[in-house]
A and B are shown apart, each in its own frame.
Chain A
Amino acid sequence: MKKTIITNNLLVHDKYNEKMGIIYLEEFSYLDILKFVRDKIHKGHKLLTHPLSGSIKPNETPFKSVAISTKKGILDLQSLEIIQECIITTEKFIKVKKTPNWTKEILEDFSLIDFSVIDGAIQSMEQFYYR
């Protein structure tokens, strides 16, 4: 299935920009990315990776990368259910404590982990055929 990556992580953008569809949303927060993905799902795109990937909490890391189908079809209810639960969970965390203003070094680590997590998923998607 042809995929599009939605990300606010420059490292993910730079690594995949020429290989696949990327929507890079530099100014978006973690929660903004999830809401953007939700809107895409409403339009008929399918969720390909889990939006709460990684064990790093949504109020810790500012970075989020999610893969969705490039093609639109009818509304996929499972995708919608998952993204809605993820938004509720993220809001729950942010309500208690906002994401801190991290140093540049720590941001780089979070960026690398977000990249590693989506990269593993992409490798898994492409192990049979590459698109």
Chain B
Amino acid sequence: MHLELGKIKITDIQFGDLTKVEAGVLYVNKQELIDLIMEDDHIKGVSVELARPGEEVRITPVKDVIEPRVKVEGPGGIFPGVLNKVTTVGSGRTHVLSGAAVVTCGKIVGFQEGIIDMTGPGADYTPFSKLNNVCLVIEATEGLNQYEYEAAARMAGLKAASYLGQIGKDIQPDEIKVYETKPLLEQAVEYPNLPKVGYVYMLQTQGLLHDTYVYGVDAKKIVPTILYPTEIMDGAILSGNCVSACDKNTTYHHLNNPIIHDLYERHGKDINFMGIIITNENVYLADKERSSNWTAKFTKYLGLDGAIISQEGFGNPDTDLIMNCKKIEDEGVKTVIVTDEYAGRDGASQSLADADPKADAVVTGGNANEVIVLPPMKKVIGTLDYIDKIAGGFDGSLRPDGSIEAEIQVITGATNELGFNKMSAITY
């Protein structure tokens, strides 16, 4: 499968009469976007606001972040099985408004989390402070339950990203990157002397506000399967995960998965990147056993020498991670696991809820219990009412001057377990 990814660099964002890109500036017709979102009768109101890098703006509570993309050539459309037919995507050409994103906010439940600061110390912890963000603050109609509200907010974000992505269709990209993974047997012989490496991609799948979708299917109902890496760049995997802001994978993370990116960078140089095994993180222990048995089976079936395993979320996925690691190692396939830590505020406590001597190669996204003070911002997009009610916040988190003292787990993407952040730790 061969995909050209054309990046149209966005350096600024403005409201305008026409939604377009001109000289790197993304102009958004606000009313047109509002009308599109309001087509859904589950939504009572939406406010559309812009947030640029360096501005004194705080966005909260963030639900998802989505990058605008459009299929230019090849089968299918972006977000297959949801916004487009379930056609298999990942080949042809896709254009990206790189440097722009849609950020959805909404009070789906009373306790909240997810902060993006566009400047100040908090901005260093989230990659989304570097983007030109179109923020949608979504208000649900009266009487809508939490499931319906979450689904409406999720859909609104995807529709907005697709609407913006469309304008990139006829624009010449600033940069074109080519990604290719061949069918298994061809790929295996292309670089016969390089170690064959695969990626085991764990998806959060546990219920309300904890779900992920693959081609529109609730991933808690799948058994592990194989995807070409480029399918993910076309939106085959979507986030419905709104809990644990620091280590959830937003849709933006899925589209720009840095593990996939880095494996491709080394593809043909010192590794042969064979493809992706997606798996879930279910609550029922028999599901965990089955899924980890299958990931191990696939690593052997694909003839891998090594596998990278990434986790999503806190607590019980630690068990899936270690099950995957142990069983894959037992197949004779070397593993590296990617996770984050809840090691207490001093970093001295045990980091994960599970462990094994075979998990001897670990990449960490950082300690989510680390405390940070976020200074007040001039403008808040969304609401600050809930800062005392967020993961890692505590009574009195929101000080009278508007500053916030909390653990970095309040910040969207702070300890991302795909490594889409700056923090890590190295031991020898």
> With A and B bound together, what is the CA distance between A113 and B286 in angstroms?
21
- Assembled-state Cα–Cα distance A32/B392 (Å): 22
B242's nearest neighbour on chain A, judged by CB, is A55
Q: Provide the bound-state CA to CA distance between A79 and B314, in Å.
A: 19
The complex places the Cα of A109 from the Cα of B287 at a distance, in Å, of: 26
Say whether chain A's binding surface is mostly helix, strand, loop, or mixed: helix
Chain B residues with CB under 8 Å of A89's CB are: 315, 342, 350, 353
- Give bound CA distance, A54 to B209, whole Å: 9
| With known contacts A85-B354, A120-B220, A106–B283 Cβ distance under 8 A | no
Q: Are the CB atoms of B315 and A55 closer together than 8 Å? A: yes
**CB-CB < 8 A to A113: which residues of B?**
109, 207-210, 243
Q: From B110, B204, B389, name the one whose CB has the most chain A CB atoms within 10 angstroms.
A: B110
Q: Which residues of B contact A95 (CB under 8 A)?
A: 344
Q: Is A20 on the interface with B (CB-CB < 8 A)? A: no
Please give the number of chain B residues whose Cβ is less than 8 angstroms from any Cβ of chain A in the complex.
44
B364 contacts chain A at the CB level, 8 A cutoff: no
Chain B residues with Cβ below 8 Å from A49 are 283-285
Q: Kindly state whether residue B369 has any CB partner on chain A within 8 Å.
A: yes
| 8 Å CB contact of A53 from B111, B316, B389, B391 | B316
**How many chain A residues touch the partner (CB < 8 A)?**
42
Q: Identify which of B244, B282, B316, B394 contacts A120 (C-beta below 8 A).
A: B282
Q: Residue A25 at the B interface, CB < 8 A?
A: no
Of A57, A82, A92, the contact of B319 (CB 8 Å cutoff): A82
- Give the distance to chain A from B360, nearest Cβ to Cβ, in Å: 19
The reply to whether A124 and B209 contact each other, CB–CB distance below 8 Å, is: no
Shortest C-beta distance, A53 to chain B (Å), equals 4
Residue B288, interface by CB 8 Å: yes
CB <8 Å contact, A55 and B394: no
**Option from B111, B316, B345, B391 in Cβ contact (under 8 Å) with A102:** B111
Interface string of B280-321 (1 = CB under 8 A from A): 001111111000000000000000000000000111101100
Q: Quick check: B315 and A54 within 8 Å, CB to CB?
A: yes
* B349 is an interface residue with CB less than 8 A from chain A: yes
Within 8 A of B (CB), among A78-92: 82, 85-86, 88-89, 92
Residue contact A112 to B342, C-beta cutoff 8 Å = no
Q: Is the CB of A100 within 8 A of B286?
A: no
A93 in complex: contacting residue of B288, B313, B342, CB < 8 Å: B342
Residues of chain A within 8 A (CB-CB) of B389 are 100, 102, 106
- Whether B109 lies near A54 (C-beta < 8 A) is no
Instruction: Render B240-267 as a binary contact track against A, CB cut-off 8 A, 1 for contact.
Output: 0101100110000000000000000000
A96 with B369: CB separation less than 8 A: yes
Using Cβ atoms and an 8 Å threshold, which residues of chain A touch B314?
Answer: 52, 55, 57
The answer for the CA separation of A116 and B145 in the assembled complex, in Å, is 13
Which B residues are in CB contact (< 8 Å) with A93?
342
Q: Name the interface residues of A95-114: CB closer than 8 Å to any CB of B.
A: 95-97, 100, 102-103, 105-106, 108-110, 112-113
25 residue pairs of the A-B complex, CB under 8 angstroms, read A48-B286, A50-B283, A50-B288, A53-B206, A53-B283, A54-B207, A54-B243, A55-B204, A56-B243, A56-B391, A57-B315, A60-B111, A85-B353, A85-B354, A89-B342, A97-B394, A100-B388, A102-B389, A103-B110, A106-B110, A109-B109, A112-B146, A116-B210, A120-B207, A121-B283
A49-B283, A100-B389, A113-B109 known, 16 other contacts, Cβ within 8 Å = A49-B285, A50-B288, A53-B315, A54-B283, A55-B244, A60-B391, A67-B284, A82-B319, A88-B353, A89-B342, A92-B349, A96-B344, A102-B111, A105-B110, A117-B210, A118-B283
- CB-based closest 8 A-B pairs: A52-B315, A116-B208, A55-B244, A116-B207, A106-B110, A50-B316, A109-B109, A121-B283
Mark A residues whose CB is within 8 Å of B: 47-58, 60, 67, 82, 85-86, 88-89, 92-93, 95-97, 100, 102-103, 105-106, 108-110, 112-113, 116-121, 124-125
